[in-house]
Structure 1
Amino acid sequence: MAENSTHRIRAGEPADIGRRVLRLRTELGLTQKQLAEPAYTAAYVSTLEAGKVRPSDTALRHLAERLGITVDELRTGRSPQLAAELRMRLTDARRALATGAAEDAAALFAALYEEAVELGLGPEQATALLGLGDCALDAGDLTEARDRFAAAEQLLADEPLPRRVPALRGRATAHLLAGELRYACYLLETAVDELNASGLHDPDALLLLYTASIAPYMDMGAHARASHAAELALALAPQVADPALVASMHRGVARTLIAEGRIPEADASLARAQQLYQQLHIRTELAHCHWMRGYVRAQDGDLEGAESELRTARDMLASKRAALFTVQVEVELADVLRRRGKAAEAEALLSPLLAPSALGAERGAVHAGGAHRLLGLIAEERGDTESAEEHYCAALSLLERTGAAGDLADLCRLLGDLLRRTGRTDAALDAYRTGLGHRAAPGTTTLGPAPTAPPV
């Protein structure tokens, strides 16, 4: 579908306008002379109806007034109500995505996209493509998601940057989920710099970008930069009226608070996000709140509460058939189960996730690495050091492509400890050195200068 995204109907061609004038004049029972007078001649109308002349704007206004329609309707052949009706149905499709399964919503967005193409409605085409991109994210098809968001950006290429930010943010999210953390940061930071440098101080667009940047920063271990983005987002929030944007901001901010050990504040931030999502009936994001609250409970030592929250998140995402997010939650759940002494249950949950159709280098590399890490820990706990080493090395291979510095450093420590216990001291030292190198990377060689702050 992406290759059709710039398609336009030939609404403004002389032949199309001529046929339209002939049909409407005939329906009204007017002669060519009656339609033409007093400004034009019957011969001009005849030539126009034959498609041999392109009417000027002045002629279009005259003809439209005589025919009882708008100039846009005469030029394009579409009623002004069509665009409004299509926008309402796009809102309905967005609501279907929020409350139901991604593939069901995708069918609605696809049909609306084709209709927008036929009508030549560029903004509505872009809105439908954004919806298709979000559906693809939910379904875990990251390549399709990137293509949809890129097509939406192309349609909006001549629009101001704030109009393009949702598509750009979607593309960055797809790259993030695929484990391309540096590129996700690059896309978001470049847009922030462009907005601030150009004086386009759009609070909604900036809040969207700062919030979206928190996740890749955190995964890369750039905690200071993530905290700064969270501070800027909080400062912008009072200027933003969209409750979904504000809820997303609270969810992102909570992640930085968790990293700083401010657990009660993180829980309060998540509670605010959860309340907003409940009011908006956005089930996927509500499930993400349960997911993160499960992580908060685990960090605070409440493993029973963590398991409950994560099971709730998994059930909600599975009911929406959000495949990629479901298996990512299952990795977090398996970690809690292992810590609760339910190693067999955790292993049974993790093993199917390593199939390419579930997780892999192109489909959630960070969580695939996490699954291998957990299976390595389980294997090591039962004394199977060979299997543990295989899982640790597989996890390292996946995460090295992502730049997830904190996870890489932790894996190097685990592998180094295992090698040391099995008498391979030199190999253990190499693993420790590699881990130290990853720990030092964020903010220096991994990331460039931080984006400029908005002129608030």
Structure 2
Amino acid sequence: MDQSQSGTNGVGQRLRELRQKRGLNQQDLASADISVSYVSLIETGKRAPSETVLKALAARVGCTVDYLKTGRDDARVKELELKVAFGDMAMRNGSNGEALQSYSEALANAPLLGEQMVRRARLGQALAFEKLGRLEAAIQLFSTLHEDPAVVAGSVEWAQVAVALCRAYREAGDQVMSVEVGERALRTLDQLGLDVTDDHIQIGATLISCYYNRGDLTQAQLLVNRLTALAEQNGSRVARGAVYWTAALVANSSGRVEESLALTERALALMAETDNARHVSLLKINCADYLLDTESEDLDRAQQLLDEAQEAMLEVGTAAEQARLETAWARLALRQGAPEAAADRASRALGLLRNEARFESAFTRVVLAQAQFERGEAREGAETLRAVERQLGTIPANRNTAMVWRLVGDLWQAHGFTAEALTTYQRALSGVGLRPLRASSKVVAPLS
């Protein structure tokens, strides 16, 4: 095939690929001056279109004449790369909807972009879906990237995708898959024998949170111990902060509240100088929550932490993260003896969560119920607790849901609803894997 034929065939191939990608048929490209058969001849490389025909066809498939001729359109490529960069910036600023739109527009023209830029846009799109609560779509995209042979195991890109997939499964309530992804990633790193990097430490930190959600505090603590040593030896301030952040979560769940406070303060000190205002704010909310879990009367410190977190959360926090802040404010108001303010804050948090069937909104409703009881609204408080129970029935059981069941039981008990409290405590035990005895079973007394 001579040079002219080769160039003609390239034009036809690019025209066919773009047409099919946009869901068009050959008739869609035809006009009074361009017949369907002529389009077919161009696509098969049997005719070389004129400049006029090229211009008309390029307009119909959404590309430039230069792209049809050469496969390159430097101005268009630059424009699409800027869209991806804008998506990255929008994500950092918390504008997740704008980010998703930018990534999607770039991916609509994926044939014009290089493979690495396409993967970057797909990862950004998946992260935007995750931030917007569209976890099923996010998991599908993360999984495709995780299985892509071009994403080299052990690379920064691979580690970022592994962390994101592990986290998305965790947020979706699939604790089995979240742990499986995290453990498989750590095994891969061990087998590769690579030097420990911040990205590797982040995989472990995410896996710790998955163990926590599954209720496996022993495995979580063992991994905390391993990662703490690695982070202190090889990690940056951010990596060490991430480890102490998750270590605090495990310590708090094990009843070591003072230790969790110390670990969170240490994480804050490490991450305070970074430019990730969102993470620092989330840590401050955690620290305030841990203070409120104690009998400490240092409520001014909790208020200071929430004040400092509020500005950044309003700018870069997701709706769920802003709701966490409102719930923390509600808890503080209860400790300050202001149930009216607590109810207002809790209601605002539920509005941000849009009544989704999530652990966060169930927990917030418990706080709202407590405020209602303290305002003397026993009937409203009881109705709110029953709404919590209905909601918990739609969420996969894990340690978090068991904790909320326990809080519901405590409120029933505190306000004289003994039968309801007993039922709720049983649900709490079932949530951590302890099933009730069958009626015919006998309780065996322990050996003395």
Fold agreement, TM-score > 0.5: yes
Which among 199, 202, 216 is matched to residue 210 of structure 2?
Answer: 216
> Structure 2 vs 1, CA of residues 190 and 428 (structure 1 numbering), >3 Å: closer, same or farther?
same
Alpha-carbon distance, 1:211 to partner = 0.9
**Candidates 92, 103, 111, aligned match of 1:109:** 103
Deviation by residue 1:300-349 (Cα, 9 ceiling, x = unmatched)? 52322212322432331222362222112222221122122121111112
Deviates further, 369-378 or 206-215: 206-215
Report the counterpart of residue 433 of structure 1 in structure 2.
426
Structure 1, residues 8-39: CA drift from partner, whole Å, max 9, x if none? xxxxx96578669xxxxxxxxxxxxxxxxxxx
Per-residue displacement from partner, 1:129-153 (whole Å, max 9, x unpaired)?
2222333334444344334434433
- RMSD across aligned positions (CA): 4.0
SS at match of 1:203: coil
Shift of 1:378: 1.9
Deviation track 1:38-80 (CA, whole Å, cap 9, x = no partner) reads: xxxxxxxxxxxx969xxxxxxxxxxxxxxxxxxxx9x984599
The number of equivalent residue pairs is 369
Kept after mapping to 2: 8 A contact 1:254/1:267: no
Is 1:319 the counterpart of 2:311? The answer is: no
Counterparts of 1:402-441 in structure 2, within 5 Å, are 402-405=396-399, 407-409=401-403, 411-412=405-406, 414-415=408-409, 418=412, 422=416, 424-425=418-419, 427-439=420-432
Instruction: Return the match for 1:287 from 281, 284, 303.
Output: 281
Give runs of aligned pairs for residues 353-392 of structure 1, distance below 5 A: 353-355=349-351, 358-361=354-357, 365-392=358-385
Give TM-score, length-normalised by structure 1.
Answer: 0.67
The one of 143, 152, 166 equivalent to 2:145 is 152
Q: CA deviation at 1:368?
A: 0.7
Are 2:265 and 1:272 equivalent residues in the alignment?
Answer: no
Q: Which residue of 2 aligns with 1:394?
A: 387
In structure 2, what is the Cα distance between the partners aligned to 1:441 and 1:161? 39
Unaligned runs of 5+ in 1: 1-12, 21-49, 53-72, 443-456
Paired residues of 2:264 and 2:286 also in contact (CA < 8 A) = no
Distance 1:84 1:381, change over 3 A: same
C-alpha distance after superposition, 1:410-432 (max 9, x if no partner) = 5336426625864654x543333
Deviation at 1:245, TM superposition (A): 4.5
The code of the aligned residue for 1:433 comes to Q
In 1: Cα distance, 2:84 partner to 2:423 partner: 55
Distance in 2 between the 1:423 and 1:295 partners?
A: 27
Cα distance between partner residues in 2 of 1:399 and 1:356: 19
CA deviation after TM superposition for structure 1 residue 374, in Å: 0.8
Q: 1:351 and 1:417, CA in 2 relative to 1: closer, same or farther beyond 3 A?
A: closer
Name the CA distance, whole Å, in 1 between partners of 2:214 and 2:150. Answer: 33
Partners of 1:398 and 1:189 in 2: CA distance: 31
Q: Aligned AA for 2:169?
A: H
Cα shift at 1:195: 4.4
- Pairing 1:341–2:337 present: yes
Q: Deviations over 1:338-389 (max 9, x none)?
A: 122121111112224435862411xxx1211111111222223334444333
Q: Is the 8 A contact 2:240 2:270 kept in 1?
A: no
Pick closer, same or farther for the CA change 1:306–1:419 going to 2, 3 Å: closer
The C-alpha deviation readout for 1:161-192, integer Å capped at 9, x for no partner, is 43434223223323333444444333323433
Name the residue aligned to 1:32: none
* Counterpart selection for 1:233 from 227, 234, 239: 227
Give identity over the alignment, percent. Answer: 17
3-state secondary structure, aligned to 1:341: coil
Tell me the residue number matched to 2:127.
Answer: 134
| Residue in structure 1 matched with residue 16 of structure 2 by the alignment | none
Aligned to 2:40: none
Q: TM-score, with normalisation over the residues of structure 2?
A: 0.68
In the alignment, is the contact (CA less than 8 A) between 2:103 and 2:121 conserved in 1? yes
Match of 1:306 in 2: 302
Alignment check: 8 A CA contact 2:313 2:322 kept: yes
Q: Give yes or no for contact 1:109–1:129 (8 Å, CA) kept in 2.
A: yes
Contact kept in structure 1, 2:220 and 2:250, CA below 8 Å? yes
CA separation in 2, counterparts of 1:424 and 1:109?
Answer: 54
C-alpha distance in structure 1 between counterparts of 2:364 and 2:417, whole Å: 26
| Unaligned stretches of 5+ residues in structure 2 | 13-43, 47-66, 436-448
Amino acid in structure 2 at the alignment position of 1:350:
A
Equivalent pair of 1:219/1:406 in contact (CA under 8 Å): yes
Is the contact made by 2:401 and 2:428 (CA closer than 8 Å) also made in structure 1?
no
Give SS of 2:337's match. coil
Relative to 1, partners in 2 of residues 1:241 and 1:113: Cα closer, same or farther, differing over 3 Å?
farther
Match of 1:47 in 2: none
Q: Which residue does the alignment assign to 2:247?
A: 253
Aligned to 2:25: none
Change beyond 3 A, Cα 1:333–1:182: farther
